[in-house]
Amino acid sequence: MFDGIKKDIQVIFDRDPAARSVVEVLCCYPGLHVIWFHRLAHRLYKRGWVLLPRMISNIARFLTGIEIHPGATVGKGLFIDHGMGVVIGETAEIGDNVTLYQGVTLGGTGKEKGKRHPTIGSNVVIATGAKVLGSFKVGDNSKIGAGSVVLSEVPPNSTVVGIPGKVVIKDGNKVVDGKVEVDLAHDVLPDPEGEMLWCMQRHLGRLERRVIQLEEELKNSDNKSVQQSE
């Protein structure tokens, strides 16, 4: 149990640069408190209890502003940062090392029975205000942009934005109209030496124009002197 508590605290230090001390983390991080409440409620729920786990969940929501249904499955290393308004549904499943921000909802889309909430893979980041609704999976190592509404499956290693959410990056490549856009412009590469020569050429051009200007000014000055002497 104590090893688990240490890991929970370390997760906060790893992902939140604002964390200063263990005492601060223990006293001031509701995302940590709600996880501990949920572990107790989830164990009771798995043993067939219903009312008491829900009561524990409601107490945790009152104290933290975060609601996790006792039936939700939560993996290791979950970090809920600024978690006010976070809602996690009964059949939601969360993998390891997931990060949720304020206002995230892992919910359903109706009154269907059985699995009706999303499955979140490992190493997923879901940004502020995002809504993931439905019984589909968000693949490992994916990111959901702030304010997005995700209604369909997200492949691994993807970035999703918009309403409804669309995959815009997959495996490091841009996605256009649902297709991965392969960058074939292999000739468009940085050329430091070429850039240096171009800068030198531009500088020489400026010097040349300045010399011509000075020569013209000197010539005009000489002409005026000759005219005055005459």
124-151 pLDDT, tens digit each: 999 999 999 999 999 999 999 888 999 9
Nearest residue to 99 (alpha-carbon basis) of 76, 132, 124, 117: 124
Q: How far is CA 191 from CA 182, 188, 195, 198, in A?
A: 22, 9, 6, 11
How far apart (Å, rounded) are the C-alpha atoms in residues 100 and 203? 52
How far apart (Å, rounded) are the C-alpha atoms in residues 220 and 226? 10
Local confidence band at 178 (pLDDT 50, 70, 90 cut-offs): low
- Which residue type does 42 have? H
Mean pLDDT along residues 165-179: 73
Contacts of residue 130, Cβ cutoff 8 Å, sequence gap at least 6 = 101, 103, 104, 105, 144, 145, 146, 147, 148, 149, 150, 165
Q: Residue 186: its pLDDT value, please? A: 43
User: Considering only 26-30, 100-104, 164-168, 178-182, which range has the smallest mean pLDDT?
Assistant: 178-182
Domain ranges, ordered by start, for the chain: 2-180, 190-230
Calculate the average pLDDT of the chain.
85
Contacts of residue 205, Cβ cutoff 8 Å, sequence gap at least 6 = none
- Looking at domain 2-180, its CATH superfamily turns out to be Hexapeptide repeat proteins (2.160.10.10)
What DSSP character marks residue 139? P
Q: How far is CA 129 from CA 8, 63, 132, in A?
A: 24, 20, 10
Output the pTM of the full model. Answer: 0.71
Between 192 and 186, the higher pLDDT residue: 192
Nearest residue to 41 (alpha-carbon basis) of 29, 30, 49: 49
Model pLDDT for residues 40-71, shown as the tens digit of each residue: 999 999 998 989 999 999 999 999 999 999 99
